[in-house]
Structure 1
Amino acid sequence: MAKDRKLSSDERILWGRVARSTRPMPGKTDELTALDAFLAEAEAAAEQEKAEKQKTAIPLPQQPAMQAPVKQPSGVHHPLERPVKRKIAKGKLALEARIDLHGMVQSEAHSFLLDFLIRAHERGMRHVLVITGKGSSMGSEGALKRAVPLWFSKPEFRFLISSYEPAAHHHGGAGALYIRLSRRAGETS
């Protein structure tokens, strides 16, 4: 995202919701207070912007709009190529970040994972590790192990993820996923 680009009102509201769903790291409460003040100011500005748009909107005559169809992400992710997976497993291609979702309930894990992937994507990272756990207690297969791949087809995850694949044994095996993040807009390699 360009540094000089301002967030739309919808983006500011979404960011506010994501930010409120997180817990501060120890010793970072001052930064959280500053963030809360910033978010409150941003929400107020968004509301004011909406109100101003409604006041200045001039109704136009209704005409059928001829717009090119917008291609939506398919939500279908392809597996990592075999050489890429092999390089990651052997450590020749670095995993730039990792997140461990052990012990989280699905709602908590969903928001943590989404926030993690958004931040990794914004930083231009390409390969990350998501540890879901195998969930082998009491003979179950594991709620997160089943749910996380399903989340990847949801709209909030689609644009972030290019592909994913179960991790190698030493990275967590069936209880972890290698994820290739999609390139940021304007990024070529």
Structure 2
Amino acid sequence: MTDFEKNDDLHSFFAEMQDVKPIKPSNKALLHDTESAIAEKKRRAASQRSEREKLKSPLSLDGVTPVKPDDFILFQQPGIQDGVFKKLRMGKYPLEETLSLSGMTIEQSRDALYKAITDSHKRGVRALLIKHGKGEESKPFPAYKKSFVNHWLLELEEVIAYHTAQPVHGGFAATYVLLKKHPDQKLINREKNRKG
């Protein structure tokens, strides 16, 4: 490139830049605030930990009273009408959810049952079926998982009644569960009807 071509390029550059105005200096210093960044990181980590803990069940693994494989398990919260309980006992409520605990450990069963009940309640589900098995050969005692299901359902505030299922739904190996109405039940029902 000749000196003439260089000067021509330089002249073109300045011609293009003639209406560009320089940026005015700012008296602000842009610093990375490490303290607030660390605090935000800690807040996010605590929030994620809290979300993970919510998925874990608060249900107890202590103090379970054994039931027999062929025992009826049942509960009716005070104030629940006998007609409502009879309808549940007879399997007349539409079962919107079914949870099978087959092949799960006690800890996995506990977490799955807790999640199924709390999620179902949030979605406005009223009745569901828990398949826990009879556990005739279970260890350390017969009906081990069934005994825990009976124990856990009593610990859940969303549960207002439960009863051993009819033979068509599993009999002694399954339990009907009735959940209390969600505070926003009318809104949930409206949404369900709109989607249906």
TM-score (ref. length: structure 1): 0.53
CA distance in 2, matches of 1:138, 1:109: 14
Superposed CA deviations along residues 118-170 of structure 1, whole A, max 9, x for unmatched, are 1110100000000110001269422110011111233xx22x11111111111
CA distance in 2, matches of 1:93, 1:20: 29
CA distance in 2, matches of 1:12, 1:77: 37
Q: Sequence identity, in percent?
A: 25
Matched ranges for 1:1-189 at <5 A: 13-19=49-55, 77-78=76-77, 83-84=83-84, 87=87, 92-137=92-137, 140-154=141-155, 157-158=156-157, 160-187=158-185
Q: Would the alpha carbon gap of residues 81 and 14 (structure 1) be closer, same or farther in structure 2, given more than 3 Å must change?
A: farther
Amino acid at match of 2:166: A
- With a CA cutoff of 8 Å and minimum separation of 6, indicate the structure with the bigger relative contact order: 2
CA distance in 2, matches of 1:120, 1:170: 23
Amino acid at match of 1:164: Y
Q: Report how many aligned residue pairs link the two structures.
A: 124
CA contact (8 A) 2:100 2:132 kept: yes
Q: Which has the larger radius of gyration?
A: 2
CA distance in 1, matches of 2:93, 2:173: 20
CA contact (8 A) 1:135 1:143 kept: yes
CA contact (8 A) 2:88 2:178 kept: no
CA contact (8 A) 1:77 1:161 kept: no
CA distance in 1, matches of 2:88, 2:130: 13
CA contact (8 A) 1:99 1:116 kept: yes
Unaligned runs of 5+ in 2: 1-45, 58-74, 190-196
CA distance in 2, matches of 1:163, 1:104: 24
CA distance in 1, matches of 2:180, 2:88: 17
**RMSD of the alignment, in Å?**
3.4
TM-score (ref. length: structure 2): 0.52
CA contact (8 A) 1:18 1:115 kept: no
Partner of 2:20: none
Partner SS, residue 164 of structure 1: strand
Unaligned runs of 5+ in 1: 1-9, 22-75
